[in-house]
Each structure stands twice: as structure tokens, then as C-alpha cells.
């Protein structure tokens, strides 16, 4: 069965890279195959899927539908375009904004929110919406591990080693994940902007609404967004699921549109046009397949074999750990990879006499860097590709990798060098 799971994984990567099958069809087939062959039991499959992520994807698709319908995206984009005159500076600013929002919100929510603005800004400023939105997703994914309230891998590492919020800024007097990832994100965003911001606009962006806005509707949608963002920002403190945070914002706008305005037709149209169900199916299959690789020991074998060849020096071990994590997380969801690799990282640190948290930073950094390489490496990438496809811009597996190449080359090199400068022994 272990060989079978590996073959299924290879087939999925090949089919996605060649763009031969609709992703939701492929995802449904993978889920059925893993279940009916007994590779995963129903309980294992259920536990493998991060249902909260699927819930926030579906919920944010509805919330963004209301925001779009209210004219929120166009209203914000007009303000941004009127204040930032240079198209290249505008391109850089939006990607950077996504990165900084993702310091405090999960990257899926960040990408969903930025999607409201990107298409309108691209249309107003004559920018390529595909290049711009991929940059937004890359920056969001990179910044998610800068703080312990960003994305699940950072939270898992913090919980495993009982780290505090401030440990992600400075750990034992040395700059930690915040400074390493933000510096890498800034350098990568600059290079990505230089490579992509000069391209002409691609047709097919969602059409902007009329010049006149329903100010009441816009205020209601903005209030719903404010509630959602506020809850997402403090959800770790309050112990709130992502889906609940988004549901609160949705409840507010639904109450206003249905109970106050009785706009039943408008709500139904938004639901029909915006509710995303195909992408959650594919994401669920990625979670399940990652769990299968973990169950049958492929990730453990891969990591252990490479790390055993390092010779025991901290610089060599941490560099290989970063490299292995970059390669693995480019194709395997980073959350289960982190869960599987932390015990190995801790044992390895004990074996070479190193601080386990210092090696955990290498693991987390490599996982974060690798998630930016492919469209299936991080949930934010899958969401971005899904939103682009809904807007009429089909992005293939290889197309994404090529567009993200400059960002990732600078990203990996910068993050690795800063990490070694901060943590390698003198």
C-alpha cells in the first residue's frame, strides 16, 4: 500500500502539472481512491482534512461576493490608484500589503480579501492581474510564519516548543522568524516587481461596477469585513475557529440584506455566483494525500535519509533541513509536514547537541519557502489559482512555477543566508 500511495501522489502531481483534469474532479477521484482501497480509513481521512481551512475558503468566497456586489473592491481600488501614480510602485505596494496583512491573518483569508482589490486595481492601472495576484499569494504565504498568529505551521511550532509571541521576533537574543521571513519577503517582492510589473494588462478581469455606489450596502459590507478581520486577528487568544470568524461576518451581512432590506434575489444571485465548492474538494484531497504519505512513512524516510548524510555539523544539518523542507513542502501540504518533522528535528538537535528551537526555525523557514514554489505547495496558492480561474484566467502548474521563479530564487537564498548569519555557531 505504501508504493500505491506514492504512485497516486506522483500521478496527481503529473496530472496537475499537465493541467489535463479539472482539479475538483481529480480531487474527488483521489479521495474516493484513498478511501475505497483502504489506504486511509474513513476516520483517518476525516482527521486528515483541515475542515476549518475548507470552511474559511467557502465562507470567504461568499463574503467576498457580497463585498464585490457592494462595490467595495472598486471603491478601495480607486482610492489606491488615485494616491499611487506609478504602476510599478502600485504593483509593489499591493504585494507588500498582502505580506504585511498575512503577519496577523492566515494566508487564505489574506488572499481572499486582496482578491477584491487586485482585479479592480489591475484594470484601473493597466497591470497584469495574473502576475499581480500571484505575487500577492506568494507574499502572503511567505509572511504567514513570521508570527505565531499567522498560519498553522507557526502555531504548531510554537505549541510544540511552548514558545511565546515575542520568541518569533527575538529568540535568546538573536533575530527570529519575523525578521528572517520579512527580509526575504521584501527582497523577493522587489525582484518580482522588477520582473513582472512592466507587462501589459491581460484582458478578462471582472468588470467593475458603475460609478455610483449604494452607500448603505457598501457600509454594511465594510462592517462585515471589519468584524471578520477583527475576529481573525484575535482568534488565537479567544480560541475561535477560522470558519466561525468568517461566519460572524457573513451573519451580519446576511441579516442586513435579508431582514432589513429583504433583498432575497440579490442574496441568491451572490450565492450562485460566488460560493466556491470546487476548490475545497481539491484542497481536501491534498490534505488526505499528505496524510497518506505520512501514514506509510514516505516523509519520515525522506527526511531521515537526507539528514543522516550531513555529518552532524549545525550549519550542514540546518542547511539540509531547509533544503529538504523546501523541496517537500513544494508538493506536500506544509501543516502535516511540520507535524511529522518536528519530532525528527527535536531528536536530531539532541544528537548533534544543538538548540532544538534553532533547528525548528530552519524547518519552519524551509517549509514556508517551499510552499511558494508550486500552486499546490500552500493553501493560499491554491486559493489564488482558483480565484484567477473563476475570473477567467487559467493558470497551469508550470505557468505558476515559471512566474514565481524569480521570487523563489531570491526568497530561498535570502532566507537561508539570514538564518545562517543569525544561528550558525562562530
Dihedral sign, Cα of residue 61, residue 226, residue 376, residue 373:
positive
Q: How far apart are the C-alpha atoms of 332 and 370, rounded to whole Å?
A: 9
Examine residue 292 and state whether it is found in any structural domain, yes or no.
no
C-alpha closest to that of 247 among 229, 266, 228, 263 = 228
C-alpha triplet 225, 230, 234: angle, nearest 5°: 150
**Is residue 139 situated within a structural domain?**
yes
Q: Grid coordinates 470568524 are at which residue?
A: 245
Enter the pTM of the model.
0.69
420 or 382: which carries more pLDDT confidence?
Answer: 420
Average pLDDT over residues 146-153: 75
Confidence of residue 273 (pLDDT cuts 50, 70, 90): confident
Q: pLDDT band for 258, please (50, 70, 90 cuts).
A: very high
Least confident of 139-143, 191-195, 275-279, 331-335: 331-335
Cα within 13 Å of Cα(134), Cβ side: 32
* Contact indicator for 138, 407 with CB cutoff of 8 Å: yes
Instruction: Domain of residue 173: give its range.
Output: 51-280
The set of residues, in sequence order, having a beta carbon less than 8 Å from that of 37 and lying 6+ positions away, is 1, 4
CA dist 76 and 68 (Å) reads: 11
> Is 310 part of a structural domain of the chain?
no
Name the residue with higher pLDDT: 272 or 255.
Answer: 255
Q: Three-state secondary structure along the chain? A: CHHHHHHHHHHHHHHHHHCCCCHHHHHHHHHHHHHHCCCCCHHHHHHHCCHHHHHHHHHHHHHHHHHHHHCHHHHHHHHHHHHCCCHHHHHHHHHHHHHHHCCCCCHHHHHHHHHHHHHHHHHHHCCCHHHHHHHHHHHHHHHCCCCCCCCHHHHHHHHHCCCCHHHHCEECCEECHHHHHHHHHHHHHHHHHHHHCCCCCCCCCCCCCCCCCCHHHHHHHHHHHHHHHHHHHHHHHHCCCHHHHHHHHHHHHHHHHHHHCCCHHHHHHHHHHHCCCHHHHHHHHHHHHHHHHHHCCHHHHHHHHHHCCCCCCHHHHHHHHHHHHHHHHCCCCHHHHHHHHHHHHHHHHHHHCCCHHHHHHHHHHHHHHHCCCCCCCCHHHHHHHHHHHHCCCCCCHHHHHHHHHHHHHHHHHHHHHHHHHHHCCC
Q: Is residue 360 part of a domain?
A: no
If one counts the domains in the chain, the total is 1
pLDDT band at 206 (very low <50, low <70, confident <90, very high): very low
More confident residue, 351 or 193: 193
**Which range (67-71, 149-153, 275-279, 329-333) has the least confidence?**
149-153
Query: Is 258 within the bounds of a domain?
Result: yes
Q: So what's the pLDDT on residue 317?
A: 87
Residue 288 has pLDDT above 70, yes or no: yes
pLDDT bin (cut points 50, 70, 90) of residue 150 is low
Distance CA 225, CA 60 (A): 10
The pLDDT tens digits for 42-79 are 999 998 887 887 888 788 788 878 887 887 766 776 77
Distance CA 362, CA 322 (A): 5
The per-residue pLDDT for 62 is 87
pLDDT > 60? residue 122? yes
Q: What percent of the chain has pLDDT over 90?
A: 26
198 pLDDT tier (thresholds 50, 70, 90): low
- Can you tell me the distance from the alpha carbon of 55 to that of 41, in angstroms, rounded to the nearest whole number? 22
What per-residue confidence (pLDDT) applies to 200?
A: 44
Select the highest-mean-pLDDT range: 86-95, 113-122, 224-233. Answer: 86-95
Classify residue 384: in a domain, yes or no.
Answer: no
345: which 3 cell numbers? 528535528
Residue 190 covered by a domain: yes
31 assigned to some structural domain: no
Q: Which pLDDT score, from 0 to 100, does residue 77 have? A: 64
CA gap 388, 391 in Å, rounded: 5
Amino acid at each position: 500500500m505504501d508504493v500505491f500511495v506514492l504512485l497516486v501522489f506522483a500521478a496527481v502531481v503529473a496530472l496537475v502539472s499537465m493541467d489535463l483534469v479539472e482539479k475538483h474532479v481529480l480531487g474527488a477521484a483521489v479521495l474516493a481512491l484513498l478511501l475505497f482501497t483502504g489506504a486511509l480509513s474513513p476516520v483517518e481521512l476525516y482527521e486528515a482534512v483541515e475542515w476549518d481551512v475548507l470552511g474559511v475558503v467557502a465562507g470567504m468566497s461568499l463574503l467576498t461576493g457580497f463585498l464585490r456586489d457592494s462595490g467595495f473592491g472598486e471603491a478601495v481600488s480607486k482610492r489606491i490608484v488615485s494616491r499611487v501614480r506609478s504602476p510599478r510602485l502600485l504593483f509593489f505596494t499591493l504585494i507588500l500589503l498582502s505580506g504585511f496583512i498575512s503577519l496577523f491573518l492566515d494566508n487564505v483569508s489574506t488572499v481572499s480579501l486582496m482578491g477584491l482589490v487586485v482585479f479592480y486595481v489591475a484594470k484601473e492601472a493597466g497591470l497584469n492581474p495574473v502576475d499581480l495576484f500571484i505575487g500577492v499569494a506568494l507574499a502572503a504565504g511567505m509572511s504567514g510564519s513570521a508570527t505565531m498568529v499567522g498560519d498553522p505551521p507557526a502555531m504548531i511550532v510554537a505549541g510544540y516548543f511552548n514558545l511565546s509571541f515575542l520568541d518569533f521576533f527575538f529568540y535568546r537574543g538573536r533575530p527570529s522568524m519575523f525578521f528572517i521571513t520579512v527580509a526575504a519577503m521584501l527582497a523577493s517582492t522587489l525582484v518580482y516587481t522588477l520582473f513582472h510589473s512592466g507587462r501589459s494588462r491581460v484582458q478578462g478581469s471582472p468588470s467593475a461596477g458603475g460609478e455610483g455606489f449604494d452607500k448603505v450596502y457598501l457600509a454594511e459590507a465594510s462592517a462585515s469585513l471589519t468584524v471578520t478581520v477583527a475576529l481573525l486577528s484575535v482568534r488565537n487568544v479567544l480560541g475561535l475557529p477560522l470558519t466561525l470568524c468568517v461566519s460572524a461576518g457573513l451573519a451580519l451581512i446576511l441579516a442586513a440584506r435579508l431582514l432589513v432590506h429583504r433583498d432575497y434575489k440579490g442574496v441568491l444571485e451572490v450565492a450562485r455566483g460566488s460560493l466556491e465548492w470546487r476548490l475545497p474538494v481539491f484542497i481536501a484531497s491534498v490534505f488526505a494525500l499528505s496524510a497518506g504519505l505520512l501514514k506509510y512513512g514516505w516523509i519520515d524516510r525522506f527526511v531521515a535519509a537526507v539528514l543522516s548524510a550531513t555529518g552532524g555539523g549545525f550549519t550542514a544539518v540546518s542547511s539540509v533541513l531547509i533544503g529538504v523542507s523546501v523541496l517537500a513542502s513544494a508538493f506536500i501540504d506544509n501543516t502535516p509536514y511540520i507535524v511529522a518533522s518536528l519530532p525528527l528535528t527535536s531528536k536530531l538537535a539532541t544528537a548533534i547537541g544543538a538548540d532544538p528551537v534553532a533547528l525548528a526555525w530552519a524547518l519552519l523557514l524551509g517549509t514556508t519557502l517551499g510552499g511558494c514554489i508550486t500552486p499546490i505547495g500552500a493553501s493560499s496558492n491554491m486559493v489564488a489559482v482558483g480565484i484567477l480561474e473563476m475570473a477567467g484566467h487559467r493558470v497551469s502548474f508550470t505557468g505558476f512555477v515559471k512566474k514565481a521563479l524569480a521570487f523563489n530564487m531570491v526568497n530561498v537564498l535570502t532566507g537561508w543566508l539570514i538564518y545562517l548569519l543569525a544561528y550558525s555557531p562562530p
